Amino acid sequence: MIEVKHLVKKYGEHLAVDDLSFTLEKGQILGFLGPNGAGKSTTMNILTGYISATEGTVSINGHDIFDEPEEAKKCIGYLPELPPLYQDMTVREYLNFVADIKFVKRNEKRKMIDRIMRMTKITDVSERLIKQLSKGYKQRVGLAQAIVGFPEVIILDEPTVGLDPMQIIEIRDLIKELSKSHTIILSSHILSEVSAICDKIMIINKGRLVVSDSPDNLSQHIGGSKGLHLEVKGETETVKKALEGIEGITKLEFEKNSKGGIVKLSAYSTEESDIREAVFYALSDARCPIYDMHSTKMSLESIFLELTQDNKNSNTTKNSNRLFRKNKQKNEEVYAAGANNQESEHKEEN
């Protein structure tokens, strides 16, 4: 459905997107993550045809966004971070206008708009001017315009900004429902939201692909695929010293809200290591009773920080560069295999 090959975008000497390649199949929800200035918005603007690329190609449903922009854009619905609203129109007038731009058939337009307004919960404000709406309702109207025409690909940049918790849950459910017949790219700073609804997560940093995998497998890329959550009685430094010497532990993560002499932490290890017994004896020798110990996973927030923090941590930098090279090589192999298959099929047809 979406195929991006060796995408590069330069602004003078600044490299905003650096040799980015990825593919996305129909029905998948991609969580597109990265720190501010990582190149997320630039990439999404290129995918929608809003700006051009310096190098590389983008294919949407088989149409090149640069060679066949009109056909490619017909397949895309886009909600930018700031919704493109006409404030002096009513909600219904605006959605009618969007439907006309997207060449929705006249006899289908009203039925479609009514359905989309029900989906996004904006029917009750359909006759109000957009400028009179709250930020949350404006965000919903922006989402509604992206859905008009039911395009194959929907790109959402911070779709839940300004929404209250109940509205966020409703939009999350709507995105899941849309994924049954649409391919969705979702950019958000609410990492718990991304983890809850995305089939695949892609993290970029300084324009480079750092890692791309399912939410469940992301932690394996930094050697923290298994973990234990612990509540231990004792001093933090004593607990830390006791655990640091255990073979197989790749990361210790202490919670800041530890109090009353109870230290809360997570100890992560490689997939092959079972550290439970070693942890028990180490803390016993340090005379630090274990009040609770159970399996846990490294949070998406921790993974994100580990993979995108600045060059102050040389090990993380080396790891990020290694992952970039690994993903680049993997994508090149996939594209080469695909090209060979297409060539073989072409020869057989002839």
149-176: per-residue pLDDT in tens?
999 999 999 888 878 888 888 888 888 8
For residue 51, the 8-state DSSP code is S
Q: Compute CA 82 distance to the chain's CA centroid, rounded to the nearest angstrom.
A: 18
Q: Indicate if the pLDDT at residue 206 is higher than 60.
A: yes
Give the mean pLDDT of 56-82: 92
Yes or no: say if 323 and 211 are a contact pair by the CB < 8 Å rule. yes
The closest of 272, 279, 270 to 225, measured between CA atoms, is 270
Q: Comparing 201-205, 212-216, 251-255, 263-267, which segment has the lowest mean pLDDT?
A: 212-216
Backbone angles phi, psi at 243, to 5 degrees: -90, -25
pLDDT of residue 47: 93
3-state SS class at 155: strand
Token pair for residue 208?
Answer: 């480079």
Which DSSP helix (H) or strand (E) runs through 329?
Answer: helix 314-349
How many whole angstroms separate alpha carbon 149 and alpha carbon 102?
7
Q: What are the chain's domains? A: 2-219 (3.40.50.300), 226-297 (3.30.70.260)
**What are the DSSP E strand ranges found in 34-117?**
55-60, 63-64, 76-79
Sequence-separated (6 or more) residues with CB below 8 Å from residue 276: 228, 293
Angle at which helices 300-308 and 314-349 pack, to 10 degrees?
100
List, in sequence order, every residue forming a beta bridge with 294; answer none if it has no partner. Answer: 229
Cα-based distances in Å from 182 to 12, 21, 152, 153, 275: 36, 21, 5, 6, 43
Give the mean pLDDT of 25-42: 89
How many whole angstroms separate alpha carbon 253 and alpha carbon 264?
9
Q: Using the structure block, give the residue that is written with the tokens 């080396």.
A: 318
How many whole angstroms separate alpha carbon 18 and alpha carbon 49?
18
